[in-house]
Structures are given as structure tokens and as C-alpha cells.
Structure 1
Amino acid sequence: MTTPLRVLVVDDDFRVAGLHREIVAERSAYRALEPARTLADATAAVRSEHPDLLLVDAYLPDGDGIAFVRETSIDAFVLSAATDAATVRRALRAGALGYLVKPFERRALVEVLDRYARFRNVLDEERSVSQDEIDRALGILHAVSDTSSVSRSATEQVILGALGDDESSASEIADRAGVSRATAQRHLAALATRGIVEVRLRYGTTGRPEHRYVRRRA
């Protein structure tokens, strides 16, 4: 995926809409469109701007955001202060790919955007995909996290900090992080499964290839 994904934020609170748009604009995989504050504006923006992804509030001044998600054929996440199970189920039945309860921490939306970009990379519309790729894409999109704010464990944060932006081995990362090699490998494997880091193989002259780790970029 080389062309940035176009994202439309639909929220009647201009401060919240602006904040969410800023988060989108900071991600290199995306192009943030001007937010829409009503369903009428959102409908017009869909026709003129052709967004790839919608971030929609459940309740808007002139109608139902979830119904809007159902009526469009565009991928969408619902971002709402509504916490009742009926609303969440209704959003998912309408076709929403996920649901974030407002207010949420900034990193929660960042994680959603990063997962969606990887999901779209796997399910490229220009080619056929295998069942394994479908399963992998769904696993990326619906990655299980420990909390609703998509926080990582303290050890994982230390591991990622030790990894930095360079390619490194598990031993190198363990030394920097001050943990055992086994602990570093365990957390690196979990991060690789969730698509946060990438595993590369370096082949020497003899013996098994060395596993190298690098932070994955959206």
C-alpha cells in the first residue's frame, strides 16, 4: 500500500473531531480529511472525498451515526461515549470493524489506526488472497489487548525501548533492557505475533540462521 488511506472523522464536537484528525494526520499511512460535524456533512464528504475509512460518533445532531455506518460500504470504527452493550452490538451488526469508548487515551486510536493499516496491507484489493492471509488479517485487526486503552505491559515497553529503530538480536535487546535472553525472546515473539515487530533471518557461514528483530512501520 503506497497511497495514503483517506480518513473521515465524523463528530459534532469540534475539539474532539480536531484531536482525532490530528492523530490520523500524524500517521504516515493516512491522509486526514476535514472532519464532518453532521451526518449531512458526512454524506457530502463521502460523495466528494471518497474516504477509505470512517471514524464515526454513534449519536450526531441530525441522526444516527451507526445507521450511517450501516448504509455506507466504507470500513468504519465507531467512537462513542455510549457504553451500553446494546449500542456496541448494534454498531458491530452495522458493520463497524471496532468500537472505542470515549474518552480514550491517544495511543488507543493510534493502535487502531496502525492495526487497520496492516490489515489493509494484507487484504490488498488488487490481488487474490489465501485463507492464511485472511486469517492473518483478521488476527491483526482484532488483536487482543490487556486494557481498553490498548496499553502494553511495562516489560514490553522496555523491550521496545531497547529495540529502538535498529535491527537487533534477542541477546542485544536483552543486554540493553537488563532482562534475560529468554524473557526478551518471549516478549519479542508476542510482539511479532501482533505485528508490532518483524523477525528477519541472518544467515552465517555455518549453523542456524540468527533471528533479528526490527520495529514494524505502518
Structure 2
Amino acid sequence: MTAPIRTLVVDDDFRVAGIHRDIVAAAPGFAALDPVHTLAEASAAVRDRSPDLVLVDVYLPDGDGIEFVRACGVDAFVLTAAGDAASVRRSLRAGALAHLVKPFDRQMLEVRLDRYRRFRNILGGTDTPRQAEIDRALAIMHGSDAPTSPSRSVTEQVMLDALGSGGASAAEVGERAGVSRATAQRHLVALASRGIVEVRLNYGRSGRPEHRYALPR
């Protein structure tokens, strides 16, 4: 089973921190950690609770959230009232994957979380991704992924996003995409019949080959 994306909210406003935590908790594929309210608490949480993603305010009682993003070594979104161009550039230079200016609609954060989940499905493993996969992951994260081809269903596009860099079985793709194994296999077989994905056989200990699907090299 794919582990949920452990997400930490860092905001000194207890009410806002709770709202953002609840949005994360409701997002498919995410687990919300208890929010923290200072950089000292955030540093301890990164060390002790190993979040995969942090959502960080800029103006915190004991320092600058953007500098924390630069130093923490964890994927991050900056969620802040600082909407001036210099702050946006600074957060991007620090490595933030998104910069949302408060107040923002709940859907704006939901969309960024969904993009991050898809981005992580492609680049979250240990395999070396191909350039096309890197480009696709970055396009997804920044909301500029190409429109779905009219020859593909939306579900088939989700299957492609869930394949990952090293290929996967139908069961693995189904788990990542949130559909049944049978549904994933049906769409993967259809994609393979059109040459959009390749089918490879992996012989396990039982001697029965497992079908694994991958993007063409």
C-alpha cells in the first residue's frame, strides 16, 4: 500500500493552521500531522516526525519561513500574506513548489495538493527518471500539463500518471490511482494495444510471469 504523504502545517495563527490542516486531512493520499506554530517547533517536527511536505507561513514569531524552506530539506509550499513579487521570487529561489497568497479559496490549496500527489507519483521513487518523466512531473506541478489527448479517456491519463519511472503492475497502478486492479488492467491493456505503454514480463519465484507496464523508452 502506498504510504500517505505526511504533511506539516507551520503557521502562528492557530485558527488558520487548523483550517489548512483540515484541508490536508481531507485530501486523497495525504495524512495531516499536528500543526506547529514556530520555526523552533517546525525544526523539531521535521527531525522527529519526518514530514514529506511542509506548508509554511513567512512571518513567524521566531524567524522567516522562507529561510526555513531553504534550509529544511523537505518539499514545501509557502502560504502567506506576502504577495509582493520580491517575496514570490524569494520563495521560489528557496525551493518552494507553490506560493499561495492569503486569503485564498480552499480549492486553490486542494488543487496544489493534488498536483503535488501526482508529481510525487512520478518522482517519488528511487529509479532514475527519463527526461520525459521529469518534464511531465514539473508540468503537472506547475499546472501546465498538456491537455489529455482526445484518443485517451481521463482515466487512462490517470493511469499514465500513476505508472512511475520504473513501470508497475496493474495492481500497483490501481493503488496509486485509487481504482481497482481490474479497472487499471483494463485501461493499461487498452493503452498497450495502441502502443502508448509497453508490456513486460517479470518472472517471479512461482514461475508465473507478472505483467508489468511501462512508458516506452
TM-score (norm 2): 0.68
Is residue 43–residue 72 contact of structure 2 (8 Å, CA) maintained in 1? no
Shift, 1:191, TM fit: 5.5
Please list the CA deviations of residues 34-65 of structure 1 after superposition, one character each: whole Å capped at 9, or x if unmatched.
00101011011111100000100011011000
Cross-structure match for 2:32:
32
Cross-structure match for 1:63:
63
Distance 1:102 1:46 in 2: 24
Distance 1:20 1:82 in 2: 17
Shift, 1:126, TM fit: 2.2
Uncovered stretches (5+) of structure 2, i.e. residues with no partner? 157-186, 195-217
Is residue 119–residue 138 contact of structure 2 (8 Å, CA) maintained in 1? yes
Cross-structure match for 1:143:
143
Shift, 1:190, TM fit: 3.1
The size of the alignment, in residue pairs, is 160
Cross-structure match for 2:52:
52
TM-score (norm 1): 0.68
Q: Which runs of 4+ in 1 moved over 6 A?
A: none
Is residue 192–residue 198 contact of structure 1 (8 Å, CA) maintained in 2? no
Shift, 1:8, TM fit: 0.4
Shift, 1:72, TM fit: 1.1
SS state of the match for residue 31, structure 2? strand
Cross-structure match for 1:108:
108
Is residue 56–residue 65 contact of structure 1 (8 Å, CA) maintained in 2? yes
Identity over aligned pairs, percent: 59
Cross-structure match for 1:171:
none
SS state of the match for residue 34, structure 1? coil
Q: Indicate yes or no: 2:154 matched with 1:197.
A: yes
- Within a 5 Å distance, the mapping from 1:86-125 to structure 2 comes to 86-125=86-125
Distance 1:18 1:25 in 2: 10
Change (3 A) 1:15 1:118: same
Cross-structure match for 1:129:
129
Distance 1:192 1:94 in 2: 35
- Letter of the 2:52 partner, please give it: D
Cross-structure match for 2:205:
none
Distance 2:20 2:93 in 1: 24
- Letter of the 1:91 partner, please give it: S
- Letter of the 2:43 partner, please give it: T
SS state of the match for residue 155, structure 2? strand
Distance 1:40 1:71 in 2: 13
Please list the CA deviations of residues 86-106 of structure 1 after superposition, one character each: whole Å capped at 9, or x if unmatched.
111110111111100111001
Shift, 1:202, TM fit: 8.3
Distance 1:201 1:94 in 2: 39
- Letter of the 1:56 partner, please give it: V
Distance 1:138 1:85 in 2: 22
Change (3 A) 1:192 1:45: farther
Uncovered stretches (5+) of structure 1, i.e. residues with no partner? 146-188, 210-218
Distance 2:149 2:123 in 1: 19
Distance 2:10 2:121 in 1: 24
- Within a 5 Å distance, the mapping from 1:176-195 to structure 2 comes to 190=147
